[in-house]
Amino acid sequence: ERGVIDAKLARKIVHCGSGPLYLLVWRFYSDAALARVIAALVPALNIVKLQKAAQDDNELSRAISRSGDPSEVLGGPYVYTWVLLLAALLAFRTPAAIVAVAQMAVGDGLADIIGRRFGRQKWFCNPEKSYAGSLAFVLGATVASMGLLRWLAFPAPLAPLVAISVICALVEVLLTDVDDNVSVPL
């Protein structure tokens, strides 16, 4: 609203940072079985908040939707938050969850930011996606995965992480009928 930063760019910066920030605090939870449930409360409460925001025109729905339409809140932002919830409940503090969230958050977010700004050459199979965006996806997701894995005391082998990032970037390019907040982490 203040015009300091483009709204679309602001949403993508939040997209890139929210998942990794959520994972950074996983280090501070105990090893108790209940820790995953406590960690899952954060996205669970945000899901409730998003459901409420989708019901009427309000500041939150305008901030996180592309057009200001409250129903958009139940699209990408809602799916993203569900991925965080499922990562906590089903794979808390595992390399699989860490890498999946890094791919979805950082890879997908940077692909959009860089692709819109520098993506002149488009993929032959998808004119909506660019080589520059895909390269940003691979580089950003790989670095984020490595950093988060190391922060959470896991090995971070470069070659497998690059391979995973390349596969996820290709999934984003090729699967156009599926929300990439779902397809990329899977």
Task: Report residue 126: phi and psi, to 5°.
Answer: -155, 100
pLDDT digits (tens, 9 = 90+) for 109-150: 999 999 999 999 999 999 999 999 999 999 999 999 999 999
pTM beyond 0.85: yes
Two structure tokens written together for 184: 């990329």
In the DSSP assignment, the letter for residue 186 is: -
Angle between helices 158-174 and 131-151 (to 10 degrees): 140
Residues of the chain with pLDDT under 70: 1-3, 186
